Amino acid sequence: MGAPTVALFDVDGTLVDTGGAGGRSWRAAFQELYGIPGDITRFSEVGMTDLVVARDTFAGTLGRDPADTELTALIAAYVRGLPDEVARSKGYRVLPGVAQLLDRLSRAGVVLGLVSGNVEGAARIKIGRADLNRFFPFGGYATDSGDRSELTRAAIARAEALAGEPLDPRRVFVVGDTPRDIDAAHGAGAVAVAVATGSFPAETLATAGADHVLGTLEEPFPADG
């Protein structure tokens, strides 16, 4: 038997749309700690890691860089408030084809993992409402690195530990909805599968160099081939 196939999935815009729950939880965290409703949309871009989002929004909101203890306290407050925001978010939805694809790949023996710019707690909370955690025994997260390629390599290393053997990079598919996900996949030596269910249309994702571009995860998935 050859090395197993691995599929690593981004969270926001790829698996679920939280309906803005993350942004509201960041705003509440700033309000709780500093009395100012920090707005991440003013100081960050889609696809950045939580650590970068927190640091840049802190600097933009308060006019100075955070101390390490301030940064960890801010992230803790964000994650602490996130379950309530996700639970009551009227715009929360699982994106098309996700549950069916994950179930099919899992049953076919594909090794599934997360690869997310979220800290692990936030990633797990966001997909928990949709009961998707059951498909993902491991992942790579912002707590592994602020660099998307590095955290993707961390996820691949965990997949190898789970499989008990080295992986063929041609059978490691990294699925995301932004050009940053594409760059991270290639930086880790993996195949970039872009899905146009987030903020970027298929044309932009193709121009960014994705190896495969899907409109939604309802379409034929390359790991099936």
Nearest to 38 by CA among 16, 17, 63, 13: 63
Question: Is 1 among the domain residues?
Answer: no
Rounded CA gap, 151 and 102, in Å?
Answer: 21
pTM of the predicted structure, to 2 decimals: 0.94
Question: Is 124 among the domain residues?
Answer: yes
Type of residue at 87: A
* Side-chain half-sphere CA neighbours of 39 within 13 A: 2
Domain that includes residue 77, residue range: 21-88
Cβ atoms within 10 Å, residue 143: 18
DSSP state of 140: E
Type of residue at 12: D
Bridge partners, 193 (sequence order) = 175, 212
Structure tokens at 68: 């390490």
CATH number at residue 117: 3.40.50.1000
How many separate domains does the chain show?
Answer: 2
Q: What is the pLDDT of residue 44?
A: 73
Angle (nearest 5°) at CA 186 between 49 and 20: 30
Q: What string of pLDDT tens digits covers the 225 residues of the chain?
A: 456 899 999 999 999 999 999 999 999 999 999 999 888 888 777 778 889 889 999 999 999 999 999 999 999 999 999 999 999 999 999 999 999 999 999 999 999 999 999 999 999 999 999 999 999 999 999 999 889 999 999 999 999 999 888 898 889 999 999 999 999 999 999 999 999 999 999 999 999 999 999 999 999 999 765
